[in-house]
Amino acid sequence: MHRTKVKVAEDALDANTTIANANRGDFDRAGVSVVNFMSAPGAGKTTLLERVLAELDVRAGVLEGDVQGSADADRISALHLPVVQLNTDAGFGGECHLDANMVRSALGDLPLGELDLLVIENVGNLVCPAEFRVGEDARVMVSAVTEGEDKPLKYPLMFRTCELVLINKIDLLEHLEFDLDRFLYNLDAVHPGVERMLVSARTGEGTEAFRAWLEGVAKRAPAAA
């Protein structure tokens, strides 16, 4: 007797994982390391990239994710790096994150074989971007001190899933009531001991360390096949 076996997908994110793995394979073959760069809107991701990418001693490219517009890609283009803008507004009202398939749709427009490092600047959002792997080697997030001390407790998955947390806009600390010790306590509560750097994209303070960190990630990639 013939029986049809139906396998139920265990995870709504299964399709995403499959495509993320395909991206991962392409990145490995090209010998490129990939950073998924995330934050809330206006935390300073693009300004931080402007600070560090020009001086990088590895060959970098950028994939910019936004609901609409190409303002960030235009800013990065001025650094004479390969950059592709992905707009997510084809989804209903605009997707709030990049997923593996969106990233995959852009890979053909990037010269992967000529890069050591690809930075994927995700849509500004502290929730969903953390739920979708895109084939990255590392996740980095930016939390601006203007956003308050409670953010790790309110968006724990994002803080837990990153291996580096950049605490940005420290030039404004003297004008805020932000309690840095309390923020760090909350950060350690959701991701004990995670690497963190105090930076100011505006003044450049602390951004050297981030640049060196990115160069280190770039050197993790296997040699191109």
List of residues contacting a copy of itself (CB under 8 A): 12-13, 40-42, 66-69, 71, 92-96, 123-128, 130-131, 144, 146-148, 150-151, 153-157, 169, 172, 175-177, 202
Q: Is 15 helix (H, G, I), strand (E, B) or coil?
A: helix
Taking the complex as a whole, the smallest distance from the CB of residue 107 to a copy of itself amounts, in Å, to 23
Cα dihedral 60, 87, 144, 190, rounded to 10, equals: -90
Cβ nearer to a copy of itself, comparing 112 with 120: 120
Contact (CB, 8 A) for 41 and 124: yes
For residue 49 the two structure tokens come to 């990239």
Closest listed residue to residue 106, CA positions, set 74, 126, 134: 134
Taking the complex as a whole, the smallest distance from the CB of residue 215 to a copy of itself amounts, in Å, to 27
Which residue in this structure is represented by tokens 């096949």?
A: 225
Cβ nearer to a copy of itself, comparing 33 with 47: 47
Taking the complex as a whole, the smallest distance from the CB of residue 221 to a copy of itself amounts, in Å, to 28
Amino acid at 59: R
Q: Is 43 helix (H, G, I), strand (E, B) or coil?
A: coil
Taking the complex as a whole, the smallest distance from the CB of residue 205 to a copy of itself amounts, in Å, to 15
Taking the complex as a whole, the smallest distance from the CB of residue 1 to a copy of itself amounts, in Å, to 30
Which residue in this structure is represented by tokens 């690809």?
A: 118
Cβ nearer to a copy of itself, comparing 108 with 192: 192
| Distances in whole angstroms, Cα of residue 201 to Cα of each of 50, 79, 147, 153 | 9, 16, 15, 24
Cβ nearer to a copy of itself, comparing 38 with 214: 38
Taking the complex as a whole, the smallest distance from the CB of residue 103 to a copy of itself amounts, in Å, to 18
Contact (CB, 8 A) for 197 and 205: no
Cβ nearer to a copy of itself, comparing 171 with 208: 171
Cβ nearer to a copy of itself, comparing 137 with 147: 147
